[in-house]
Structure 1
Amino acid sequence: MSSIPTITVAGKQVGRVGYGLMQLSTDSANASNEQGSLAAMKAAADAGATCWSSASFYGPDYANIRLIAKFFAKYPEYKEKIVLVIKGGYDASTFSSRGKDIGHVRREIKEMQAILGDKSIDIFLLARLESSDAVEESFQNLVTLQKEGLFNEIGASEISAASLERASKITPISLIENEISLFAYSSEIRKVIAWSETHSVPIFAYSPLGRGMLTGALKKVDDIAEGNMLRMFPQFQGEAFESNVRLVEKLEEIAKSKGIQTGELALAWLTQLSDFIIPIPGSSKTSRVISNTQAINIKLSTSELAEIQTFLDTEGVKGDRYPGVFQKELMV
C-alpha cells in the first residue's frame, strides 16, 4: 500500500482519499470493460484509497455490487483491507427514497449480501430521506436492520446538520456522505462539515471534482456528450456554465503556478477544509486513480487558499447542483 494519511472509519484505518465506484457501472464504456474496472479498483486500493463508496442502484440489477464481488473473488486478500460503504433505500426509477419501507430496505440489503458472500457491508446509509419528517422512523429502521446483522454500522447521506443531530440521538453515525467541492460549498454544506468536526464523524465528499468540470476537461457545452445527464444539470447550462468555466480557468492559473493539475488542486483544497473530509473521486483509469489519491499529499499555502476563497466569494458558483426533480431530496 502507498503511504498517504489515514483516518479511522468503521474501526479501520483507511486512506484520507477514498474511491467512488459509481461510474464503473453507470458509464456504458466502463460497464463493458470489466477487466479495466477491476484494474482501477486494485490501483485505488494499492494507492491507499481503501474506503469505497457504492450503491444498490449503480447500474441495473446491482451491477456495481456484482463488480465488487468479482473484485474480491479475484483478490480475496483485499477483503479485510477495504471498508465498504453502500447506499440504498432509493428507487432510481421514480427518484424517490424508500427509507421508511423497512421491508424494501431489508430485501435490498439481503440481495446485496447474497451477491457479496462473506464480504460484510461495513456501513449502510440511505441515499436520501423523503423529508425531514422521515428522520426518526428511517434511522430507527436502520437500527432494527443493523441488529438483524445485515450490516455493521450506520451512515447518513445528503442530510442537513439539523437532521444529523436528530439522527444521532437514535444511533451513532459512523459516516456522512454529501456532495462537497468547489462547486458545492453552500452554507448548508458548511454546516454539515462543522457538525462532522464537532462530533468527529468522517464525511465522504462525493463528486469532489464537480462531475469532471474541475479537471478542466469541459470548457464548452459541446464537450458534454449528447445523452449525458450532465446536460440536464443547471451548473452545466447556458450562462451558468460560462460563469463556472471562468472559475475553473482561475483554478487552472493557480494550479499551473504550483506545477500540479487542476483536479489535484481541487482535491487538495478539499482535504484542507477539514481533517474529517474524505474525497471520493471516481475514475476507471489507473493513472488518474493514482494521481487523485496522491493529491492528499499536496499542500496549499495560506495565500493560495485565500486566493481561491476570495474568488469563490466574489464570483460564486452559478446554478443548482441537480435538476429540479432531484433538488427536493437534497440536504433534508
Structure 2
Amino acid sequence: MKYRAIGSLRVSALGMGCMGMSEYYGNQNEVESIETLHFAVSRGVNFFDTADQYGQGKNEALLGRAFKNIRHTINIATKFGFVRNDSGAVVGINGSPKYVKAACEASLKRLGTDYIDLYYLHRVDPSVPIEETIGALTELIQEGKIRHIGLSEASSQTIKRAQKVHPIAALQTEYSLWSRDIEKEILPLCRELQIAVVPYSPLGRGFLTGKIKSVNTLVEHDYRRNTPRFQGENFKHNLSLVQRLEEISNQLHISPSQLALAWLLSNGEDLVPIPGTKKSSYVEENIAAIDIELPKDIKDFIDKAVPVGAAVGERYPASSMTLLDR
C-alpha cells in the first residue's frame, strides 16, 4: 500500500466509502460488508468514510462493530449536518454549535470510540455562520474528541472563511472523470491552503466501472434510478463516454475502474479517493489501480475522450443540487 497525508493522518492512497453498506445502493448484507471491511484492512486500506446519516446511524454502528478490536490501526472519517425524520426524509441541515456537539457525541457512541480522526460538516448550513460551526469543531479538537476538521461540498468563500478560524484538513467533494467541476477553482484553492481533497464517487456512482449497461439492472430502490445522469437520453449519452474509457482500458489491459482511479490518483498526491463497494473482489480491483502509472500521452488521450463537462445531467436531483457549493 502507498500512503498519503490528510493533516497529520497517514492514510492509504485509496480509502473506502462505506455508505452503500447501509443505504442507497441496493440491498445490504452485514456479514458480507464486515468481511469486505476486514479484507480491505488486510490489503493495507486504513481510511474509512462514513456519516451519521448513512442508514440513519446504522453505517457508523457497522464500522464500530467491524473495527472494535483494531480501532487504533485505522482512520475513521464521519460527517454530521443532515437532519432526517423518523421516516428517513431529509428535513434540513444543521450546523449550529449545539448540534455539532450533540451529533459528535452520538457518532462516538455508535462508532464505539472516544475520538474521530476526521470530522466533516456534511453540507453547509446557510442559516449558521460557518465561523460558528468551525468554532464548535475547534472545541471538539481541544477536548480530544476529533483530530481534524473537514468540509464537504463547500464553496470557495466558505472554505476561506472556515480556514481563518481553524485549519481545514480536508475537503470532500465529488471528483471523477465525469465530475471535474472542482478543477477550475476549488482544487487550486485547496492546494493554496494545503487542504487535502477526498473525492467521493470517483467511479461515477458505479457508472465508470462499465458494469452498468442499463438502469434496469439496478434494484428498484437504488437511489441512482432517480438521479439525472442515470435517466433516459442522459444515460445513453453517458454510456457512450464509458465505452470510450473501455476502449482505452482494453488497450492497457486494465479495467475501466482501474483506469478511472489511476487517472484520478495521478492528478496529485493531495487526492485521496474513496471508492465505495460491498465486495472484496472490487476492493482488490480498486487497490491495483494505485500501482498503475499513466503516461502523459494516455492522460491527454483520456482528457480528449472524456473532456470537462462531457457527462450529461446534473449530479443530483434538483433538491439536492441546492445543497452544493454553499
- Say whether the fold is shared (TM-score over 0.5): yes
Identify the residue that residue 73 of structure 2 maps to in structure 1: 81
Match of 1:286 among 274, 280, 286: 280
Partner of 2:271: 277
| Structure 2 CA distance for partners of 1:94 and 1:155, relative to 1, 3 Å | same
Q: 2:109 aligns with which of 114, 117, 121?
A: 114
What number of residue pairs does the alignment pair up?
A: 322
- Separation in 2 of the partners of 1:250 and 1:116? 41
Name 2:83's counterpart in structure 1: 91
Give the TM-score taking structure 2 as reference length: 0.92
C-alpha distance in structure 2 between counterparts of 1:40 and 1:119, whole Å = 24
2:125 counterpart SS class: coil
1:113-146 Cα shifts (integer Å, max 9, x gaps): 1233345211111100023973223222322333
Structure 2 CA distance for aligned equivalents of residues 13 and 314 of structure 1: 31
2:12 paired with 1:18: no
- Kindly state the Cα deviation for residue 30 of structure 1 after the two structures are TM-superposed: 5.4
Question: How far 1:189 moved relative to its partner?
Answer: 4.8
Q: What's 2:52 paired with?
A: 56
What residue identity is the alignment partner of 1:310?
A: K
Shift in Å, 1:97: 1.4
Give the alignment's TM-score, normalised by structure 1.
Answer: 0.91
| SS at 1:52 equivalent | strand
Letter in 2 for 1:80: H
Q: Cα–Cα, structure 1 residues 314 and 6, in superposed 2: closer, same or farther, change >3 Å?
A: closer
The change in CA–CA distance for 1:190 and 1:277 in structure 2 (over 3 A counts) is farther
Instruction: Give the corresponding residue for 2:134.
Output: 139
Give, in whole Å, the separation in 2 of the partners of 1:314 and 1:14: 29
2:33 paired residue among 29, 34, 37: 37
Whether the 8 Å contact between 1:90 and 1:126 is mirrored in structure 2 is no
Cα separation, partners in 2 of 1:314 and 1:159, compared to 1, 3 Å: closer
- Whichever residue aligns with residue 223 of structure 2, its letter is M
CA–CA separation in structure 2 for the residues paired with 1:318 and 1:65: 33
1:102 maps to 2:97: yes
Residue of structure 2 in register with 1:322 after alignment: 316
Once residues 111 and 315 of structure 1 are traced to their aligned partners in structure 2, the CA distance between those partners, rounded to angstroms, is 39
Q: What amino acid sits opposite 1:256 in the alignment?
A: N
RMSD: 2.0
CA spacing shift, 1:236–1:247, aligned 2, 3 Å = same
Structure 2 segments unaligned to the other structure (5+ residues): none
Q: Does residue 296 of structure 2 align to residue 312 of structure 1?
A: no
Are 2:175 and 1:183 aligned? Answer: no
Whether 2:251 is the aligned partner of 1:257: answer yes
Equivalence for 1:220: 214
Aligned to 1:166: 161
Residue identity in the other structure for 1:84: I
Q: Distance in 1 between matches of 2:195 and 2:309?
A: 31
| AA aligned opposite 1:5 | K
Same amino acid, percent of matched pairs: 31
Q: For 2:116 and 2:267, how far apart are their aligned partners in 1?
A: 28
Amino acid at match of 1:41: L
Q: For structure 1, list consecutive stretches of 5 or more residues without a partner in the other structure.
A: none
Contact 1:79 1:119 in 2 (8 A): no
Q: Which has the higher helix share?
A: 1
